[in-house]
Amino acid sequence: MRILIVLVGLLLLAGCSIQSSQLSALMGFINKPSTDVPLNRWSVKYGNYEAIVYPISLPEGTLFSNASGDQILFDGWAVRSVKGLGYTGPAYQNRDVANKRTFMRANRSLAVHQCDQWQKEQRLDKKKFSQSCKGVNLYTNSILVEKDGSISVIEQIVDDRYELLLLTKLN
């Protein structure tokens, strides 16, 4: 008898549907295709390696990453950590103390470079910040800032091999 009551109850409920306009609106928002959300894409070039990365704001700065495992941590002035980008193993890291930049990998110091203060240069409606550094070779790091204050290009040496890392905003 109980089974018969349960079956009748299920048949009656099968024809009913419960609706909520708030729930429908929420589900519609959640189920929107991801193509509706514009993504902030950046191109990264490092030696012969090229990829697309996406910025994520963190307390330490901006992490540019992708599904391939590439990770670039930028603190607003300097690239502090690089992982992936065609290389395996621990991340390259650098730290500044006074005017000395130490390049490290797996907590092992690889090189120490002397870096000057950042210099600002106005270019039409953009600002270019440049920093001269010297290790065995002399090089320049730079950051290009648009009229609206957003960064559009980051060019920096990030390791002891003097390999240039170029990050360019695509949209």
pTM: 0.76
pLDDT-based confidence at residue 1 (cuts at 50, 70, 90): low
Domain membership flag for residue 117: yes
Domain membership flag for residue 12: no
pLDDT-based confidence at residue 97 (cuts at 50, 70, 90): very high
Q: Answer with the residue of higher pLDDT: 34 or 126.
A: 126
Going through 32-137 in order, the beta strands assigned E by DSSP cover 42-46, 49-58, 61-65, 71-74, 79-83, 92-97, 100-105, 108-115, 119-123, 126-134
The pLDDT of residue 27 is above 50: no
What is the C-alpha separation between 23 and 112, in angstroms, rounded? 58
Tell me how many domains the chain contains: 1
Domain membership flag for residue 2: no
Domain membership flag for residue 32: no
Domain membership flag for residue 162: yes
Domain membership flag for residue 1: no
Domain membership flag for residue 81: yes
Where in the sequence is the domain holding 99, given as residue range(s)? 38-169
At residue 63, φ and ψ (nearest 5 deg) are -100, 120
